[in-house]
Amino acid sequence: MKVLATFSLLATCALATTSSSGQECLCTSDQSCWPDASDFSELQEQVSQPLIYPSPTASACYPPLDPSGNCTEVIENWTDGTWRASMPGSMEAPNFETVVFSNGTIAACYPNATITGTCEQGRVPVIGVDARSVADIQAGVNFAVKHNLKLVVKNTGHDYLGRSAAQGSFVVWTHNINNITFNPTFVPQGAPANETYAAVTLGAGVQWGDAYAAAYETGHMIVGAAIASIGTSGGWLAGGGHSALSPTYGLGVDNALEISVVLSSGEYLTVNNCQNSDLFWALRGGGGGTYGIVTSVTYRTYPTVPAQLYLFEANATNPAAMVELVGGLLQAQTQFTDDGWGGFGSMNNKSLNFFYMSPNMTSETANATTQPWTDYALSLEPLGISSSASIIPVPSWFDFFEEVFATVILTGANVMITSRLLSRDSVATEYVALAELLVTCQGLFNTVAGGKVNQIDPNSAGVNPAWRDAVVEAICGITWEDGASTAEIQGMIDELKTVIAAMNVLTPLDGAYFNEASLFEIDWQKTFFGSHYATLKDVKEKYDPLKLFVVAEGVGSEDWNKQLTCRSF
């Protein structure tokens, strides 16, 4: 795709609050420019649901703040992603509900109320719209533009960069737009009548667990996320959208046929390869919360087919042996993904575990394609490696999902992560050093690239071109307990930065997955978006000239201050 021409911008000075330092600033709830009660009453008349006043996840544990709350419910459901997603103020990682001030104090709300004794709003938005329709979203957007508000968009809150929250902000919550419509002969708007697809249109609030179940009832499957409570049509797709099915069917962005979106102007567009194709291109991988608010996505579906599940686990008596094993696995990833195997694994200096699946593969092919790795692992027994492997046929992708992912917990922990899309060249030449790094950081690895992902034109969508040469996504991260001091957290962040720097040195040409990454990535424009960044920024300026949509490390965010509230002229 050629770089787009420079587009003229609409004048926004009349809407902006200008500081004495010559910056254009957005309005937050602690400022006198914040709308008053009559303004919000006017908004209430324009939307279908009562305005929402989001609270931190643990607010019920502080009776003075939430007298009707149930702290027992909070504690019992703290790691339940579906429960968290049902609340407009709850984030997957609670650290993104907090604010760290310059003096080192932390504004937070913990389920253990004895840590601070008080619950503070932190980064949780203070008021917003519970959107149930396009009209609700338009009303929220128009209100934010009229009053120049700091706006955030939230669906489920599965977000490792904290883009679903901002201190003193106004939120448009899309979680309850959850319609699901199947069409066996879907034709994108503006496309030739004979261009038909078996497709499903998912509202912005639909979560993958519900989408899979609905698809299964019609005899179909969809390329989607591993966790049931992740949204189908928000940040997952906007970052690229990986899946265990990706080595066979491509990324989420490769399976999106049409997207509906509300722009900062309030205009409602349906975009695809035939109309507003530049925006369709950008929405598929160019970053969430950046161009508009997506109201629905139409995805290609595939007939349900049986699958093979390959389970592997190993234990090591010494770290050196584990490095040898992991290095061998990195080398084997190209073959695994090209054969259609996709899945997830984890490691430390004592153990390695992973599960891969491949749709529509015979048991004979499954045995033939996994045997080389199984044999290699067994050959390391003299080094102190004990391993076991098994192949299990499963009736369908949905059965695999229900069996493997139904109880996976990814929420409720204070966490920051970094990722790297390891290319074919990297796993072939740097496997020893990469294995040492991953074993040390107790890393995760997602076999969600390679195969079909590598066969698709890098310029077909706005997603990071690094995906088109990657065979595995490697992840390292840090976690900490509630109540940890700023100094303790900073120490762990410094450790994470060390890992990021080391990975950058080892794989300078590889990128990172925008949805599973850190705010501390080096050269984030290149790392997240690669050669597409300039074009994405042109699309951003064309469709959001009011600069309403700004998120951490999102396209154009370099023009704003750290808080993403003030922009230099």
Does the structure show a pLDDT above 90 at 569?
no
Please compute the mean of the pLDDT values over residues 439-443 and round it to a whole number: 95
Class of domain 307-522 (CATH, top level): alpha beta
pLDDT for residue 213: 96
Q: What is the pLDDT of residues 406-431, one digit of tens each?
A: 666 678 899 999 999 999 999 999 99
pLDDT for residue 433: 97
Q: Distance between the two ends of the chain, CA-based, in angstroms?
A: 29
Per the structure block, which two tokens stand in for 190? 């503006």
Q: What is the pLDDT of residues 331-374, one digit of tens each?
A: 999 999 999 999 999 999 999 999 999 999 999 999 999 999 99
Please compute the mean of the pLDDT values over residues 148-158 and round it to a whole number: 96
DSSP character at residue 227: S
pLDDT for residue 406: 67
Report the alpha-carbon angle 391-476-404, nearest 5: 30
Domain ranges of the chain: 37-173, 180-303, 307-522
Does the structure show a pLDDT above 80 at 15?
no
SS3 per residue for 28-68: CCCCCCCCCHHHHHHHHCCCCCCCECCCCCCHHHCCCCCCC
Per the structure block, which two tokens stand in for 292? 């508009």
| pLDDT band, very low/low/confident/very high, at 117 (cuts 50, 70, 90) | confident
Domains 180-303 and 307-522 share a fold: no
pTM for the complete prediction?
Answer: 0.93
| pLDDT band, very low/low/confident/very high, at 69 (cuts 50, 70, 90) | confident
Q: For the domain bounded by 180-303, which CATH number is listed?
A: 3.30.465.10
pLDDT for residue 527: 97
High-pLDDT (> 70) share of the chain, %? 94
CA distance 244 to 226: 7
Q: What is the pLDDT of residues 367-406, one digit of tens each?
A: 999 999 999 999 999 999 999 999 999 999 899 898 887 6
CA distance 151 to 126: 11
pLDDT for residue 189: 97
CA distance 316 to 335: 24
Residue 204 C-beta-side C-alpha neighbours within 13 Å: 30
Class of domain 37-173 (CATH, top level): alpha beta
Does the structure show a pLDDT above 90 at 318?
yes
DSSP character at residue 532: G
CA distance 289 to 233: 12
Q: Is the dihedral of CA 422, 424, 425, 427 positive or negative?
A: positive
CA distance 170 to 129: 8
pLDDT for residue 5: 29
Please compute the mean of the pLDDT values over residues 234-244 and round it to a whole number: 96
- What is the per-residue burial (b if ≥16 Cβ within 10 Å, else e) of 446-477? bbbbbbbbbebebebbbbbbbbbbbbbbbbbb
| pLDDT band, very low/low/confident/very high, at 116 (cuts 50, 70, 90) | confident
Residue with tokens 């469709």: 543
pLDDT for residue 23: 55
